[in-house]
Structure 1
Amino acid sequence: MGPLDQHPIGSGFRAKSTAAEVIDGIDLSGRMAVVTGGYSGIGLETVRALVTAGAHVTVPARRPDVARDALAAFGDAVDVAPMDLADLASVRRFASDWSSSARPLHLLVNNAGIMACPEGRVGPGWEMQMGVNHLGHMALYLGLEPALVDAAGARVVALSSIGHRIGGIQWDDPHFTSTPYDKWQAYGQAKTANALFAMGVDARGEDRGIRAFSVHPGGIFTPLQRHLPEEEMVALGWKNPDGTVPEAVQQAFKTPEQGAATTVWAATSAQLDGLGGLYCEDVDVAPLAGAVSPGHQHVRPWACDPEAAERLWTVSQEWLADA
C-alpha cells in the first residue's frame, strides 16, 4: 500500500459517529485484544466498545492500580497487567508472559502515547516521544507477533495523529542528539512513525494473516494534553484566556467515544477486509492531502511512503537490538 491507495471507501459513518455505533452488530465473542493506554480517554472508550461486542481485553498499564479502578465496571472481561512503554524490559516481560499463556491475540491496539512533552530520554538515550510512541509499541508488537499469527486473522491498529503533518522522520538526527530539542517536531515525527509502522507490519504480516492500520482519532480533550500549559492551549486556539473552550473548537473537537470510533472501525470492520497499511480518519480511509481539498486533515505523503516505512523498520530493529 502507498499514497495511491489512500482514498475513502465510503464506510457510511460520519466524522462524529461513536464507537458504539461502529461496533453495533459485530460479534467479538472469543476474541482476545490488547489495548495499551486502555484506561482513560479514547483508550477507555475503545475497551468499552470491544467488551460490549464480547471481546476479552487485556490492558497493559504503567499505573496498574489506577487502571484497575478505571476498568472495574467491566469485571472479568478485562485484565490489567503492568507494563511501561518507556521500559523495554517491562514491555518484553509482558509479551513473554502472553506467549507463555499460549493464547492467540486477535486485536492489538497501540493506543497509549505522549504529546509535546519536555525533553526526556528513554532506553539507551532515545528521545522520549519516539521511544514511547513508536519504539515501545514496536517492541510490544514484535514480542506478540507469534500470538497474532496464531489468531489466523488479526489486526493491529496504531494511533497516529494529524500531528504527523508537522513533519516526517528526521533521519539525520531522529533523537535530537545534535540539534536543539523541539517538542512539536518530535511529536510530529513520532506520529509519522506510527503510520509508517502500520505499513511495515502490514507488509510483513499480510501473508500470515495480520493486517494493520493507523488512525487519526480527531481532536479530543484527553489526558494527552497534560504537558501543555494553559497559555499554550490559548495560543493554539484550543481555549480562551478565561479557560473556557471556544465555540468553534467545541464544534470541531470530538468526545472520547467519538474519538474511539475510527480505532474500533479499523480494528473490527469487515469493510476493511482485504485491505491494510492504510491511514484512517473520521471512520474511513483518509485521502492523500491535496487530493481532495487543501484542508489540514488527510494524510501527508511522508506518512504513507513505502520506502520510508521500510527504512524506519530497518533502523528501528537496529535500535531495539542494541537496547
Structure 2
Amino acid sequence: MISPISPDQTPIGSGFGPATTAAEAVRGIDLRGRVAVVTGGYSGIGLETTRALAEAGATVIVPARDRIRAAAVLAGLDRVELEALDLADAVSVAAFARRFCQSGRPLSILVNSAGIMATPLHRDADGREGQFATNHLGHFRLTLALWRALRAAGREAGGARVVSVSSRGHQIAGIDFDDLDFERRPYDKWIAYGQSKTANALFAVALDRRGREHGVRAFSLHPGQILTELSRHLSAEEIAAFDALDAEGRPRIDPSRGMKTVAQGAATSVWCATSPRLDGLGGVYCEDCDVAPVHDTATGRRGVHPWAADDALAERLWSVSETLTGVSLP
C-alpha cells in the first residue's frame, strides 16, 4: 500500500522549462566560497553540471575512477579539483570521504550524478546486483561518509543540498525488497535499472527527513533523454526503438518530448543544487527545472511514480541500505 505523497510534490512555477540549459539555470547565482562534489562530473550531464557550478564561482571536486581521462576532459576549467573514487568499491568511497572531511571544508553541494544503465548482470564484491550497488548503494555510502561536511555547510547561510540524479526510468519498477539482487527472479536489465532509479528518488525522501533540521536538504530528478555514455550497453536496435536518432543518425533534440542536449539535461541538476526557489523545500522529485507532479498514466510519462515518493518505502530502503553497507548516520 502506497503512503500519502508529500503536498510539496507539486510544481512551483519556476519560470524555467524543458529547454533551459545548465548555464541559464544558475545565471545570477553567486557560488563563490562554496564547495561542490559532483560524481560522474567528467562526462555527459555530470561534466555540464561541473562546468556550470564552477563558472558560477564554486570550487568543484570531481571524484573519478579513470583519473587520466578525467584530467584530460577537465583541463582548462577553473576551480575544478580531481580526486580518486570508485563508487563500486566501499574502501575507495570511505577513503575519498575521509580525505575530504580531513580538509575541514564544508560541503555545500553534493550532486550524485554518476551511474550505469541497462548493463548485463554483474555483481559487486559483496554479491549485490551491479546497477543497484553502483547507482544507489555507492551514493548511499558516499553521502553518509560526507555527512559531517554537509552538516557543517548546513549551519552556514544557504545550507547544503544533496542532489540525486534519478530518471524517468524509475517508472519501470519499484523496489523488490524480497529479491533486490535477482537471486530468485530472472535478471532483466531494465527492471534492475528502474529499481536503482526508484532507489535514488526514495533516498532523497529519507535523507531530507534526516537532514532538514541540520540545514541539509535533498532532491532527486529526471534529467531528460540524452544520448551519452550511459547508453553504451544499448544495441543499435534498442536506441532506434527509443526514436533517439534522426534520419541522419544524429541525436534527436526535442525538449518538449524530453529529448535534450547535454546542457539542457544538466539544467535540472544545477537548478536543484542552487535555486533559491527551493529554499524551505526538500525530499521532492524534479524535472524540467521544476518540482514534478505525481505521475498520471492518463497524461503521459511526466512526473514521479507514487512508489518513488512513498515515505514508508523510503524508510524501509534506508534501513535495508544501512544493513547492506554497514554504515549509518552519526
Same structural fold, with TM-score higher than 0.5 when normalized by the shorter chain: yes
Which of 220, 227, 234 lines up with 1:228 in the alignment? 234
Cα displacement string for residues 222-277 of structure 1 (whole angstroms, at most 9, x for unaligned residues): 11101101122123332479745568799641111111110000000000000000
2:324 is the alignment partner of 1:319:
yes
Q: Which amino acid in structure 1 is aligned with residue 150 of structure 2?
A: L
Aligned mates of 2:260, 2:245 — CA distance in 1: 15
Question: Aligned with 1:59: secondary structure?
Answer: strand
Gaps of 5+ in 1: none
Which of 87, 95, 104 lines up with 1:93 in the alignment? 95
Shift of 1:132: 0.2
Q: Which amino acid in structure 2 is aligned with residue 29 of structure 1?
A: R
Report what 1:59 is aligned to.
62
Report what 2:80 is aligned to.
78
Aligned mates of 2:254, 2:29 — CA distance in 1: 34
Question: Aligned with 1:108: secondary structure?
Answer: strand
Which of 265, 270, 292 lines up with 1:264 in the alignment? 270
Seen in structure 2, the aligned counterparts of structure 1 residues 27 and 171 have a Cα distance that, compared at 3 Å, is same
Contact (CA 8 Å) 1:262, 1:280: kept in 2 or not?
A: yes
Aligned mates of 1:148, 1:283 — CA distance in 2: 23
Contact (CA 8 Å) 1:289, 1:300: kept in 2 or not?
A: yes
Q: Which amino acid in structure 1 is aligned with residue 46 of structure 2?
A: G
Contact (CA 8 Å) 1:9, 1:284: kept in 2 or not?
A: yes
Report what 2:161 is aligned to.
155
Which of 92, 101, 119 lines up with 2:121 in the alignment? 119
Q: Which amino acid in structure 1 is aligned with residue 53 of structure 2?
A: L
Which of 4, 28, 34 lines up with 1:25 in the alignment? 28
Report what 1:5 is aligned to.
8
Which of 299, 309, 316 lines up with 2:314 in the alignment? 309
Whichever structure has more helix as a proportion of its residues is: 1
Aligned mates of 1:204, 1:190 — CA distance in 2: 21
Shift of 1:212: 0.4
Which of 110, 130, 155 lines up with 1:128 in the alignment? 130
Aligned mates of 1:266, 1:241 — CA distance in 2: 35
Structural RMSD (CA): 1.8
User: Percent identity over the alignment?
Assistant: 55
State TM-score, norm by structure 2: 0.93
Question: Aligned with 1:173: secondary structure?
Answer: coil
Contact (CA 8 Å) 2:18, 2:255: kept in 1 or not?
A: no
Q: Which amino acid in structure 2 is aligned with residue 298 of structure 1?
A: G
Aligned mates of 1:200, 1:100 — CA distance in 2: 26
1:177-196 paired onto structure 2 within 5 Å: 177-196=183-202
Aligned mates of 1:57, 1:247 — CA distance in 2: 29
Aligned mates of 2:17, 2:254 — CA distance in 1: 18
Aligned mates of 1:65, 1:170 — CA distance in 2: 38
Contact (CA 8 Å) 1:234, 1:241: kept in 2 or not?
A: no
Aligned mates of 2:53, 2:278 — CA distance in 1: 17
Q: Which amino acid in structure 1 is aligned with residue 117 of structure 2?
A: M
Cα displacement string for residues 197-216 of structure 1 (whole angstroms, at most 9, x for unaligned residues): 01111000000110000010
Gaps of 5+ in 2: none
Cα displacement string for residues 114-172 of structure 1 (whole angstroms, at most 9, x for unaligned residues): 00001000131000000000000000001000000011210000000000000100111
Seen in structure 2, the aligned counterparts of structure 1 residues 140 and 21 have a Cα distance that, compared at 3 Å, is same
Shift of 1:296: 1.0
Contact (CA 8 Å) 2:253, 2:261: kept in 1 or not?
A: no
Q: Which amino acid in structure 2 is aligned with residue 78 of structure 1?
A: V
Aligned mates of 1:25, 1:167 — CA distance in 2: 38
Aligned mates of 2:106, 2:251 — CA distance in 1: 44
- Structure 1 runs, 4 residues or longer, greater than 2 Å off: 1-5, 235-252
Which of 4, 7, 15 lines up with 2:18 in the alignment? 15
Q: Which amino acid in structure 2 is aligned with residue 194 of structure 1?
A: N
Question: Aligned with 2:163: secondary structure?
Answer: strand
Aligned mates of 1:250, 1:55 — CA distance in 2: 31
Report what 2:44 is aligned to.
41
Shift of 1:294: 1.9
Seen in structure 2, the aligned counterparts of structure 1 residues 247 and 196 have a Cα distance that, compared at 3 Å, is closer
Count of aligned residue pairs for this structure pair: 320
Does 240-249 or 121-130 show the bigger shift?
Answer: 240-249
Seen in structure 2, the aligned counterparts of structure 1 residues 69 and 250 have a Cα distance that, compared at 3 Å, is farther
Question: Aligned with 1:122: secondary structure?
Answer: coil
